[in-house]
Amino acid sequence: MSQWLVADVGGTNARFALVDGPEGLPAHVESLPTRDYPGLAEAAADYLARHAPSAKPSAACLAVAGPVGNGTFRLTNAGWPEGTPEAVRAHLGLPYLDIINDFEALALALPRLGPDDLIPVGGAQPKAGAPISGARISGARIPGAPLAGAPRAVASIPSAPISGAPVPSAPVPSAPISGVPIPVAPLAGAPTPGAPLAVVGPGTGLGVAGLVPTPSGWVPVPGEGGQVDIPAATEREIAVARLLRAEKGAVTAEYLLSGAGLVRVHRYLATLDGEPQEELTPRQICERQDDPRCRETLEMFCALLGSLAGNAALTLGARGGVYLGGGILPRIVDVLRGSAFRARFEGKPPVEDYMRAIPTALIVHPGPALVGATVRLAQSLPDLEPA
């Protein structure tokens, strides 16, 4: 059985895994610091040297946190140079390699998520027994970034957690990727069957993507939604946005809704209060929820994110739900659920009723982008027979 290489590469860490073809589970999951390598090819080669020294994978899909297109890719929040999928494929000596945006991979994983993979935000409760949407997943090629190497082929991928992670108490049944609906758990809030989905997530950067159902399957809609203007609404937020513009020359959402953004908001609030600035890390801010300034930082963060997520829902028509990813929110679940996130998400006059019907939930699956990268390979290579 041939193996596939999949990866989720962010500005801080690059997570790699091997999959035993379309029906395997991501295994040998390892996280490597991006700063330890000059580029993606070197990081992937180091991983393969340890985990696949004698037999190289037959195909790879690497999801990166940055723009992908026109035969190139770039990691936004790391010091790596711009690269090409073909150069990475040649360096690794693989017959087939695809590089996609990390939130494109996360979007592709959405139909695979079950009730144990989601925490409702805003009062919605997971319900089992029906697909998120009426669309089917097929083996059709998904438009996207250029592929390197000649396609070889595959069947389907089951829905399951990453190897080494706790197995959900009620696993979601899997189904082939050939025209059969995949049973998953939708959220309450009257999601519209067959409607687009959206995913938004702050981490090292800020990612946004959509997933649109078509007759031939789910089609991801990647982009650079983290680079839109910050949706400041309150006087305090507007004051923070003014400080951001003075420092950075722009009010880009990622400058506030990210790990570095947490630090920046915390610093700006101290400036506004005329108090000394305590330089804390994002982790420290998340942990010090009883500290008044840290708490205000986190609550402002969640409120701004709610406005941005609502904007994404309106732009994409994501009546199938908006899902929250990234590495920050799982650390502040209680703050998120008790914050103004949902009120700001819904507060879009004159379409409040439209917004109230859209469910929102936090993704807590241990490695959804790895699952999405595997789905991408399965959909991209419908005729490949595992060796």
In the annotated binding site for ATP, the residues are 7-12
In Å, what is the CA distance from 98 to each residue of 59, 86, 118, 149, 281? Answer: 8, 9, 28, 9, 34
Nearest to 47 by CA among 85, 83, 80, 7: 7
In Å, what is the CA distance from 332 to each residue of 121, 284, 294, 356? Answer: 12, 12, 12, 23
Binding site residues, as ranges? 7-12
Count CB-CB contacts under 10 A for residue 249: 8
Distance CA 158, CA 177 (A): 9
Under 8 Å between Cβ of 85 and 147 = yes
Please state the separation of Cα 25 from the chain's center in Å: 19
Say if residue 143 is exposed, middle or buried (CB neighbours under 10 Å; 0-12, 13-18, 19+): exposed
User: Are β-strands 96-101 and 147-149 bridged in parallel, bridged antiparallel, or unpaired?
Assistant: antiparallel
Which residues are CB-neighbours of 292 under 8 A, at least 6 positions away? none
Which tokens belong to 11? 């500005």
| Cα-only R_g, the chain | 20
Nearest to 208 by CA among 225, 230, 187, 195: 225
**What φ, ψ does residue 64 adopt, rounded to 5°?**
-120, 145
DSSP-assigned beta bridge partners for residue 60:
5, 97
Distance CA 81, CA 75 (A): 8
